[in-house]
């Protein structure tokens, strides 16, 4: 199921403002790629171009190519809705549907995609919650509102919701930044398990986290405020954190910047 992402010459705009410029990279299937970089460098914007969520923002516009295996996500006649069914996303703040139960939250994406029998739904919901390491904590309260869970549980519920539809790629936009260290650890463990099945891209401000969970790390930076963000380099995580090839990367990682 996991697919390769191949981005070439990608620009993203907010209105006439060029937010990220000329980004090209490849993300291998069944791997974790982390995006790091200072705030405002466009890493979240870039992440949102990978499932066509960027254009939801008023004025949002994208140029360039994003290949998912052989399919250009920005090709003519590609429906953004079907792209988002193939590329799942987990957000910075846990956002389970507040009016739905735990069960309905997990089943929400499935109900959009087609008709399932109740028994099929039950199976997929259980499998997804187990996949998100949440099943044991919520199996007795599947019919309680999802918003009643703790923050870390809510985030794992969102992950369960995203993987329930078996996407090819899973995008995570700072998934732990609103969580305490223990919940963060739970999510990080989970990422390690999920990469067996999905291509994972994660934006993080926490460099230890990038070092812990990712196989590859991409460093983004911008020359100055008002300038577009750029991809400085992407390499094996180990190499980025020990011996990066660009000075700016080393400065950022070691805290010598600005």
Which residues contribute to the site for another protein (CB under 8 A)?
A: 51, 53, 56, 58, 81-86, 88-89, 91, 93, 95-100, 108-109, 112-113, 145, 147-148, 158, 161-162, 165
Nearer to another protein, 66 or 232 (CB): 66
Q: Reduce the secondary structure of 14-36 to three states and give it as a string.
A: ECCEEEEEEEEEEECCCCEEEEE
| In the complex, minimum distance from the CB of residue 251 to another protein, in angstroms, rounded to a whole number | 33
User: Which has the closest alpha carbon to 155: 197, 95, 97?
Assistant: 95
Nearer to another protein, 171 or 213 (CB): 171
Furthest C-alpha separation in the chain: 57
Nearer to another protein, 74 or 91 (CB): 91
- Dist CA 161 CA 90 (whole Å): 9
| In the complex, minimum distance from the CB of residue 180 to another protein, in angstroms, rounded to a whole number | 19
Nearer to another protein, 105 or 183 (CB): 105
- Dist CA 172 CA 199 (whole Å): 11
| In the complex, minimum distance from the CB of residue 254 to another protein, in angstroms, rounded to a whole number | 34
Nearer to another protein, 5 or 253 (CB): 5
Handedness of CA 231, 45, 49, 192 (dihedral sign): positive
| In the complex, minimum distance from the CB of residue 6 to another protein, in angstroms, rounded to a whole number | 21
- Dist CA 114 CA 207 (whole Å): 40
| In the complex, minimum distance from the CB of residue 160 to another protein, in angstroms, rounded to a whole number | 12
User: Which has the closest alpha carbon to 206: 174, 243, 252?
Assistant: 174
- Please give the torsion angle defined by the CA atoms of residues 183, 43, 245 and 256, in that order, rounded to the nearest 10 degrees: -70
């Amino acid at each position: 199921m996991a697919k390769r992402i191949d981005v070439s010459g990608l620009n993203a705009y907010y209105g006439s403002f060029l937010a990220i410029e000329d980004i090209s990279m490849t993300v291998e299937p069944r791997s974790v790629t982390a995006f790091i970089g200072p705030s405002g460098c466009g890493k979240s914007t870039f992440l949102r171009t990978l499932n066509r969520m960027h254009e939801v923002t008023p004025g949002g516009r994208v140029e360039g190519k994003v290949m998912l295996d052989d399919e250009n996500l920005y090709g003519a006649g590609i429906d953004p809705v079907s792209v988002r069914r193939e590329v799942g996303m987990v957000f910075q703040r846990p956002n389970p549907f507040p009016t739905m139960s735990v069960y309905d939250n997990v089943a929400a994406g499935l109900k959009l995609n087609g008709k399932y029998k109740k028994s099929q739904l039950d199976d997929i919901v259980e499998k997804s919650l187990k996949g998100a390491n949440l099943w044991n904590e919520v199996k007795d309260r599947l019919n309680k509102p999802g918003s009643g869970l703790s923050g870390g549980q809510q985030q794992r519920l969102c992950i369960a919701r995203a993987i329930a539809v078996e996407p090819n790629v899973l995008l995570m936009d700072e998934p732990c930044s609103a969580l305490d260290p223990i919940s963060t650890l739970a999510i990080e463990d989970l990422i390690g398990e999920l990469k067996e099945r999905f291509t994972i891209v994660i934006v993080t401000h926490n460099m230890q986290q990038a070092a812990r969970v990712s196989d590859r790390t991409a460093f983004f930076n911008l020359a100055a405020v008002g300038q577009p963000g750029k991809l400085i380099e992407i390499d094996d995580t180990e190499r980025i954190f020990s011996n990066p090839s660009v000075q700016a990367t080393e400065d950022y990682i070691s805290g010598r910047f600005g």
